[in-house]
Structure 1
Amino acid sequence: MKKISKSLHRILSIVVGIFISIVCFTGAMLIFENEITEWQNPQIYKVTPTPNGAIPVSDILTKVVATESQKAEVTQVVIYRNPKKSYKVVLNVGGDTKTLYVNQYTGKVLGKPTESKFFYTMYRLHRFLLQPRPKDDSIFWGKKIVGISTLIFALILITGIITWFPRKGQSWSNRLKISIKHGWRRFWYDLHVVGGVYVAILLLLMALTGLTWAFPWYRTVFYGIFASGDKQTQARPNDKGKDKTIYVDNETDSIDSQRYVSWQRAVENVEAMGKGYTQFTISKNEVRAKISNAGNSRASDTYKFNPTTGDITKTKPYADVSKYMKTRGWVYSIHTGYWGGFAMRVIYFIAAMLGAALPLTGYYLWIKRRFFNKKRKKE
């Protein structure tokens, strides 16, 4: 069993190792994208609270719409419990989606951050190896290679653990130490073998969840196992034809702030429940209240409200959300490390970086053994 696993581990790694390194490295780079983007753009994301508190949402939205030169549709407002984070307002302007950040204490439009070419490149490498999405039905080779490599990576991790597993009578302690006193070759060997074992479970979780974005057949099987009894259509209802926006035509100067008063009242009604929500996302007649930043990072309670009064008319707690939607949230959270909060994402970063190094150390050890050892024997 060990001999087969070792051979399989080596052969598969030689074939797809370089792709595994790319996917793991780019994944590590994306883990703290939000934090780095906010750090680079404090003038957009950070605000200073005032003694009088935030001005009403209705006033904020009318000021935002007034900055547009053509017909604008407010589709969403995101309010954070952190008083030092600016409000996020999403608009539909001339058929295009536009996101702006606003100082909730002054109503000043702060603009939007400049798109990072670095993170955009990392994302496209991570998902598609930089290949543009085909306009026809031709094979999306970049996405397919990433998917196949990730699938094989899962098998490589499993065979690696089997190969590492101590034989009967062998000491476990020696199999869990990385030596730094016996030369570089021994260090790279231990880093590959022992380091790989330490992060194997996390890398396996990343791989198995990441595959849901790579292959429709895998996604069907995956959700069939973990969300049995729910239909996929529950997660993606057909809302075609349904208006989810509030229309304001500032070309005719018909801005009516009362349109948004109910949004403010709805949020106040939800906050009054005292459930400690961390974020509120408001759209037409609906408030989604984020439960926490750990666990399922997409978990939220949903409240329907009267568009005139802002009174809550219907509540859908997270506990009543379909199993399919819960699973989707958990897949994203487990894949990105959000399920364990900031500390877990630090661990994920280390694991992903080590995952990127594993094929490189493996190539080094293989080349050293295969070519340099042969030269020594001939001499």
Structure 2
Amino acid sequence: MGVSGTVARKNSSARLWFVVHGWLALPIWAFLFIVCLTGSIATVSQEIVWLADPAVRANAPAADARLLGYDEILAAVEREVPGARVRFIARPVKSIFALTVSVTRPDGSTGTLYVNPYTGAVQGEQGEFDFRDFVRALHGWLLVPFNDGFSLGWYLVSALSIPLLGSLITGIVVYKRF
């Protein structure tokens, strides 16, 4: 067995890795596509909501307007929604977004308000399950509900990492010169 025998064995080994690589990717491509697509959309979901819902936008009344402090936001929410107890205030990274203020009303109901960080005006209220939550839930656990702290969808999305790792390894072996 000379050089040609070694080359033949090397070619059959590379072919085997190529077949394994293809079969690892083939059955899961649609599932992977959905997870990747929803993940991509989830990264810009806040901006999509900003485009679609004017209540999410924080427009400064003047070019030199300053952002209100937390005490000023609390006072503004108390003026706009009397008797409401603020549970938390989330300040987005970008100043073009309204603050999200979670409140508990005197009747016990809860809600999340969009508050302008420059004026303190309540511009609207977030629904229970908005577009951003939908896309993140679809990406993270395929909208399969949690029962007793367990979601089959979350485990399916997590298990996708195993064939992806196998596909990465076999792809590196097959396409060494890439």
Residues 1:20 and 2:32 aligned together: yes
Identify if the C-alpha distance between structure 1 residues 131 and 40 changes in structure 2 by more than 3 Å, giving closer, same or farther: same
The one of 87, 90, 103 aligned to 1:91: 103
Flag structure 1 segments of 5+ consecutive residues without an equivalent: 167-174, 176-379
Question: CA offsets, 1:267-292, max 9 Å, x none?
Answer: xxxxxxxxxxxxxxxxxxxxxxxxxx
Distance 1:35 1:133 in 2: 28
Aligned partner letter, 2:89: Q
Question: CA offsets, 1:246-285, max 9 Å, x none?
Answer: xxxxxxxxxxxxxxxxxxxxxxxxxxxxxxxxxxxxxxxx
> In structure 2, what is the equivalent of residue 156 of structure 1?
167
Identify if the C-alpha distance between structure 1 residues 74 and 125 changes in structure 2 by more than 3 Å, giving closer, same or farther: closer
Contact 1:5 / 1:163 at 8 angstroms: preserved in 2? yes
Identify if the C-alpha distance between structure 1 residues 120 and 51 changes in structure 2 by more than 3 Å, giving closer, same or farther: closer
Deviation at 1:156, TM superposition (A): 0.7
Residues 1:144 and 2:145 aligned together: no
> In structure 2, what is the equivalent of residue 32 of structure 1?
44
Contact 2:58 / 2:118 at 8 angstroms: preserved in 1? no
Residues 1:63 and 2:71 aligned together: no
Contact 2:115 / 2:121 at 8 angstroms: preserved in 1? yes
Distance 1:128 1:56 in 2: 37
The one of 24, 41, 61 aligned to 2:53: 41
> In structure 2, what is the equivalent of residue 124 of structure 1?
137
Distance 1:36 1:136 in 2: 30
Deviation at 1:74, TM superposition (A): 4.7
Aligned partner letter, 1:111: G
> In structure 1, what is the equivalent of residue 85 of structure 2?
72
The one of 122, 131, 139 aligned to 1:109: 122
Aligned partner letter, 2:47: E
Identify if the C-alpha distance between structure 1 residues 81 and 128 changes in structure 2 by more than 3 Å, giving closer, same or farther: closer
Percent of aligned positions that are identical: 25
Question: CA offsets, 1:227-257, max 9 Å, x none?
Answer: xxxxxxxxxxxxxxxxxxxxxxxxxxxxxxx
TM-score (norm 1): 0.37
Distance 2:17 2:87 in 1: 57
Distance 1:134 1:158 in 2: 35
Aligned partner letter, 1:29: I
Flag structure 2 segments of 5+ consecutive residues without an equivalent: 1-12
Deviation at 1:34, TM superposition (A): 1.3
Distance 1:135 1:97 in 2: 23
Distance 1:56 1:29 in 2: 31
Distance 1:143 1:165 in 2: 33
Aligned partner letter, 2:26: I
Q: Secondary structure at the match of 2:160?
A: helix
Q: Secondary structure at the match of 1:3?
A: helix
Aligned partner letter, 2:158: G
Alignment of 1:145-224 (within 5 A): 145-166=156-177
Contact 1:73 / 1:91 at 8 angstroms: preserved in 2? yes
CA RMSD of superposed structures (Å): 3.2
Aligned partner letter, 1:72: R
Question: Which protein has greater RCO, CA pairs closer than 8 Å, 6+ apart?
Answer: 2
Identify if the C-alpha distance between structure 1 residues 164 and 36 changes in structure 2 by more than 3 Å, giving closer, same or farther: same
> In structure 2, what is the equivalent of residue 5 of structure 1?
17
Moved more, 44-53 or 11-20: 44-53
Question: CA offsets, 1:314-350, max 9 Å, x none?
Answer: xxxxxxxxxxxxxxxxxxxxxxxxxxxxxxxxxxxxx
Identify if the C-alpha distance between structure 1 residues 6 and 96 changes in structure 2 by more than 3 Å, giving closer, same or farther: farther
Aligned partner letter, 2:176: F
Contact 1:45 / 1:86 at 8 angstroms: preserved in 2? yes
